Amino acid sequence: AVVAHDQQSDSAGLIDAAVQRVPAQAAVPPGASVALGASTLSVLDPVGGALWALPAESGLEGELDAAQSVEVGRDALAVVSTEGTVFVASADQSALLKLSGVGGQPETIGELPGGEISLTAVGERLVVAASSGGSTLITVVGGGSVELTEPFVRLQQPGPD
């Protein structure tokens, strides 16, 4: 599946590649982050702090239902693994969170490091880059870490192990 996120109209929809059109769209919060992995679609409202983990095939029809969202806090970041697991860096909770796909509830899997944060997933593992003071700490949550002397590193898109 492919998702089109129109940031000017604050809408997102699945693209039907067979007919090259977006058959249905949903309004998303302004500034929302939209990500797709396997059959899970993530919509994160960084201002309101709500996160939706929806089924990709039907998640963008009509309005997003606030009752289907979970609170992850303002200024959060989210990434979806290739298997559909949603990982979140929650600044409000100072925590790294995991939602096991559609309808999952947040589970704390680590502490949020300090600095400028970016996320990716390698297989089913969250990778966090935390840049601060002229260096970057790369951490595989549940694994090891390495400190680089570069002030900021851009992580790859989520991918397999």
In tens, the pLDDT along 29-54 reads 999 999 999 989 999 999 999 999 99
Whether pLDDT at 152 is above 80? no
Q: What is the pLDDT of residues 89-136, one digit of tens each?
A: 999 999 999 999 888 899 999 999 999 999 999 999 999 999 998 899
Tell me what pLDDT residue 103 has: 84
**11, 67 contact by CB (below 8 A):** no
At residue 7, does pLDDT exceed 90?
no
Q: Assess contact for 14 and 22: CB atoms under 8 A.
A: yes
pLDDT in tens, 70-82: 999 999 999 999 9
**pTM above 0.85?**
yes
State how far the Cα of 60 lies from the Cα of 4, in Å rounded to an integer. Answer: 10
Could you tell me how many helices (H) and strands (E) the chain has, helices first? 0, 15
86-90 sheet: strands from edge to edge:
77-80, 86-90, 95-99, 107-111
